[in-house]
Structure 1
Amino acid sequence: MERIERIHALHRILTAARYPVTVQRLQEELECSRATVYRDLAYLRDYLMAPVVGNGEAGFRYDPDEADRFELPGLWLSSQELHSLLAAQQLMMRSGGGVLSTALAPLQHRIEKLLDEHAGGRRVPVERVRVIPHRSRKLDETAFRNVATAVLDRKQLAFEYRARSTDERTRRTVSPQRLTHYRENWYLDAWDHDRDGLRSFSVDRITAARVSDAAARDVPDEELDRQLSSSYGIFSGTPKGLATVMFSAKAARWVADEHWHSQQQGRVLPDGRYELKLPYSSGRELLMDVLHYGSDAEIIEPASLREQARSLLSLALGQYE
């Protein structure tokens, strides 16, 4: 039994006890040595300020006049829970361009302190939790914080936006709806007041962001999902068709366990191949992901999307001739 568990158990025993509890009984219930019982009692009394009274001969209990007023202070987690929390915190700090590193630093120090207390001074090898960002983009930390503040405070947001596809720079005023982390990068779904419609913005292309005092316009979740999440990809839009992609038996071992879209339809064929059907609007992102599998993937339908894939492959082949 870990120390944190013993302290909880010891607290429960002493709280419920009407008479002093012997050290022998505490040893049996806590499954520890006599010396450990005394150390835990001292920790409970001296560090946590519990009203422990008694001695080794008569036994121990809580002072009846103070027992009802005492509760274990603070956040109590087991070592396993702290290890999981530390791993998750490392993921947040090291992904997304490290934009959360500064904000999460105090949390890391607190977690490490709690782990030190559990480990009795033994160093926790944090470097053994590896997070390797893949194709993440550099974010402006100030812009990210302003975007997050506008989303959560439900305020309008003004910013400059430089579209990656056209390299055009525009000034936007929006009502933020959702902040989404997708494929190592952050995106903002918002109601664009200048264009009178829903738009998605890549946060790494946002600069000079300023939170307004004006209240944001709220768009129902159903409408957001219908316009922005019903098709494949982050810049999806409403579906224009259903794409069918066939994967080889080799690739099926990976694809069958992957989540491509909330409305995907997949089945393993008798010969081991995997058929995947997806709603899509713009084929750009879907084509990119399918071509990632090379000869192990084939777009079956619609014909127009299949032709786009064929053209892209021909152009790519031309680079090597």
Structure 2
Amino acid sequence: MESTGTQRMRHPRLLRLITLGRGNETIETLAETLGVSEKTIRRDLAGLRQLGITIEEHLGHNGRKTYSLSRDSIEQVRFTYDEAFSLMLCRPGTGEFDGTLIGDASKSAFEKIRLALGANQDDYFQRISPWLHRSPGYGDYAEQRDVIDAITLGVEDCKATFIAYRSARSTEPVTYDIHPYGLAEHNGALYVVGHSCHHDEIRTWKIDRMETAEVTEFPFIRPANFNLSEHFKGAFAVIVGSEPVTVRIRFRGSAARYAVERKINTSQTATPGPGGSVDITVTLTSTIEIKSYILSFGSSAEVIEPESLRTEVAEEFQQAIANYTRESLSPLDNTVSKRE
């Protein structure tokens, strides 16, 4: 039996099986085909009905219940022409998910929309596609489809999950159990947010660094007040700290306009600074990620506060200057240069 893993991935297959079964599928046959328990199928059916999909139940001989999908349900999920056109035109790039269930489902869905729009519009999309560009900068998750599947199942079913994780500083993966609360995406990379049983705190893990993930049978209780949006409220991107810190950066020249145009945090405010500069102020709980952002502007950005971040940035620039002002290359560097 093939297990589809997560509820999100089972739902499309479950609906397809019911449709093709033409009223002959039972709880038992659906469970066997999907490789899950009958209890899971009943829960999935209830979830689909809550979404407004009408799944009809038929009582046959000897009390045997079968299921079919109402034609009205299919009508309810039809797009208007302009909705389908807009989806195709604005569809996000999914290259980072190629080879995973998420990527496969996305490609399948957009292919159906493309066919429904017809050949004329398909020619139009082919013609304008060279005019649209999205920066790549995403990970490749084709080889981690099992990891993503396990993590998503752990999130949906609130089950503790064992992960083998290689952090940026470690040379070997470390295995420990986590309680996955949810998934986050940043710049095409996927992250898992949850409780680390080993560290006894909420942490964020990058899926790219997970070598394996295995869902256990041990349930956990997700905190009722936990909300991903609130959790990341004080983050520059995905790293969250404990205490709020006010960060004020002075941007000069063309960088000032760019800084105003791009809002890096919901708490951001902008005030005029001396000599046409602009002061951007944000409240964060971690300054790790914003340091790289500041450094990317070179001399056009200056940290005004906090003093600790100002010192860190200054030390980075001093080290960079030292790297560029060395009197001569080391013997190893000379060897590499000659080979090149």
For the aligned residues, what is the CA RMSD? 3.1
Q: What does residue 193 of structure 1 align with?
A: 197
TM-score (ref. length: structure 2): 0.64
Instruction: Say which is worse superposed, 164-173 or 220-229, in terms of deviation.
Output: 220-229
SS of the residue aligned with 1:259?
coil
Find the structure with the greater CA-based Rg: 1
Seen in structure 2, the aligned counterparts of structure 1 residues 222 and 157 have a Cα distance that, compared at 3 Å, is closer
Seen in structure 2, the aligned counterparts of structure 1 residues 71 and 235 have a Cα distance that, compared at 3 Å, is closer
> Which consecutive unaligned segments of at least 5 residues does structure 2 have?
1-70, 326-340
Q: Work out which of the residue numbers 94, 103, 106 in structure 2 matches 1:104.
A: 106
TM-score (ref. length: structure 1): 0.68
Q: Work out which of the residue numbers 310, 319, 325 in structure 2 matches 1:315.
A: 319
User: In structure 2, what is the Cα distance between the partners aligned to 1:124 and 1:246?
Assistant: 43
Q: What does residue 57 of structure 1 align with?
A: none
Structure 1 position 86 matched with structure 2 position 88: yes
Structure 1 residue 208: deviation in Å? Answer: 1.6
Within 5 Å, which residues of 2 pair with 1:1-321? 73=75, 75-89=77-91, 91-95=92-96, 99=100, 100-116=102-118, 119=120, 124-125=125-126, 127-128=129-130, 130-139=132-141, 140-221=144-225, 229-269=233-273, 271-321=275-325
Q: What does residue 25 of structure 1 align with?
A: none
Asked if the contact 2:245–2:286 (Cα under 8 Å) also holds between the matched residues in 1, the reply is no
Structure 1 residue 163: deviation in Å? Answer: 0.5
Structure 1 residue 133: deviation in Å? Answer: 4.3
Q: How many residues align?
A: 251
Q: Which amino acid aligns with 1:151?
A: V
Q: Which digits, 9 at most, give the CA deviation of each residue in 1:63-120, with x for residues without a partner?
A: xxxxxx999946443443212212444x142345674322222212211111117x48
User: In structure 2, what is the Cα distance between the partners aligned to 1:190 and 1:230?
Assistant: 16
Structure 1 residue 265: deviation in Å? Answer: 2.7
Q: Which amino acid aligns with 2:213?
A: A
User: In structure 2, what is the Cα distance between the partners aligned to 1:227 and 1:123?
Assistant: 42
Q: What does residue 37 of structure 1 align with?
A: none
User: In structure 2, what is the Cα distance between the partners aligned to 1:120 and 1:257?
Assistant: 34
SS of the residue aligned with 1:306?
helix
Q: Which digits, 9 at most, give the CA deviation of each residue in 1:187-232, with x for residues without a partner?
A: 1111112222211101111122112233232024457667654243
User: In structure 1, what is the Cα distance between the partners aligned to 2:135 and 2:150?
Assistant: 23
Asked if the contact 1:180–1:188 (Cα under 8 Å) also holds between the matched residues in 2, the reply is yes
User: In structure 2, what is the Cα distance between the partners aligned to 1:308 and 1:76?
Assistant: 54
